[in-house]
Structure 1
């Protein structure tokens, strides 16, 4: 696959699937295999592996601003924001919602790990607020939500669904079996709109049922796909 030409595009956003291989170093996979997968992804994107910025994702609502390359994953954070060009912000998922945010005019981008807990506790809201501090405007932010667990498959206890709905309105749903469920993507779309972010695209894939993606709920021990976003320096 040829490298992606980013010459005239100020922001690039990419999601991977199972075909790209496991990109996570914390799930027990062979480290050399993970490094090879990351190298292949970098080659396809026209980047170098050292340009990738990873996170130590802990289902927090913590947002961290980065401005340079990192030797290790950014500690204890579930969202990273930058105004620096050619830093590829990465989020790893296997059912959680990968959220990529960009204001191409203000030159501010972010990658967010929005699982049920983090989304419930405001990780996306906190990220948007951090972007605004750096000059972004809600009406200029484009949000891209990636493949994730769909509400029709994401079954949870009724009390849990009620709790998430209380903090993330629009997320409570029913599964295809008629049981209580949570649709984190739907809740996040509603939350983003309430924040004034209206340029929203959401990938429809359900990682729990679509085997072209890794799924923790389906497989338990599994790899991770990624969302990647970066400022290219283009116009």
Structure 2
């Protein structure tokens, strides 16, 4: 059975999408397609799940150890996808055909980007701290250094907790919105909130990316995805799903 990945269009020669919980081998509470090695799941199960994602992508996937920062790792070749992690980073960029990059999330925002013409792709993990630290801008800058043009870049802001469900203290909301305008919101409960997907989209557009798609999937509301906050309320733990993007190998490359 094909892996049920939510595919997105980032241009010709690019394969991109967001995994769901389905299609893997992990047992409860991580069931099924947990891709996180740091959440208590059996590492053998996680590696099998990652292998299934690589098969979907048609290329080995490079992963990073994410620390809610703004560091970007530029993939140098297939060796970067050979191990469990390339090291600490919250975004990966690749101009190497036949190598995918992925970011892990469970309420934070996975951002997939591609300049199909320049043959450059990127993936960023943008939680509240990373967004404030500038991980989205850093990812774009690393892509530009590899030949991308923001005006040609397509971006998809993937499944994340919505502003309607992300309640924060009023002081935090105001502090984040001062640094990333467009993030402040009010939750469905009428309390102060943060709309991280809106903030990511605003940063992308202000950086010159005109093609920004925000599907609006909410991880807290949509049980197809892992959600850290939903698991906390249930008194349990959860896995990690991913945003993955790959450059297909083209004739002559």
TM range (shorter): over 0.9
Mark the CA change 1:94 to 1:2 in structure 2 (over 3 Å): closer, same or farther: closer
Deviations along 1:17-49, one digit per CA (max 9) or x if unpaired, are 1114101111000112112212222333334xx
Aligned to 2:21: 18
1:62 to 53, 59, 71: 71
Q: Look up the SS of the partner of 2:151 in the other structure.
A: helix
Any gaps of 5 or more consecutive residues in structure 1? none
Determine the C-alpha separation between the residues in 1 that align with 2:239 and 2:13: 30
Rounded Cα–Cα distance in structure 1 between residues aligned with 2:215 and 2:35: 20
RMSD: 1.7
Check conservation: 2:70, 2:138, Cα contact below 8 A: yes
1:204 corresponds to 2:216: yes
Correspondence for 1:80: 92
* Number of equivalent positions: 229
Match of 2:229 among 217, 231, 235: 217
CA deviation profile, 1:137-189 (whole Å, cap 9, x unmatched): 11100001110000000000011111110111100100000100000110111
- Contact 1:9 1:234 (C-alpha < 8 Å) held by counterparts: no
- Provide the residue aligned with 1:159 in structure 2: 171
TM-score between both structures, scaled by the size of structure 1: 0.92
Q: TM-score, normalised by structure 2?
A: 0.86
User: Is the partner of 1:197 in helix, strand or coil?
Assistant: coil
Matches within 5 A, 1:118-129: 118-129=130-141
| Cα distance in 1 for residues equivalent to 2:196 and 2:55 | 32
Aligned partner (choices 166, 173, 180) of residue 192 of structure 2: 180
The superposition leaves residues 176-224 of structure 1 with CA deviations (integer Å, 9 ceiling, x where unpaired) of 0010000011011111111110111112111011111100011031100
Q: What are the Cα deviations for residues 87-120 of structure 1, in whole angstroms up to 9, with x where unaligned?
A: 1101000000000110011111111000110011
53, 57, 62: which one aligns with 1:41: 53
**Does the aligned pair in 1 maintain the 2:94–2:100 contact within 8 Å?**
no
Structure 2 alignment gaps of length 5 or more = 6-10, 24-32
Contact 2:97/2:250 (8 A) holds in 1: no
SS in 1 for 2:47: helix
Which whole-Å deviations, capped at 9, do the CAs of 1:65-84 have from their partners, x for residues lacking one?
A: 11112224121210111111
Cα distance in structure 2, aligned partners of 1:72 and 1:46? 18
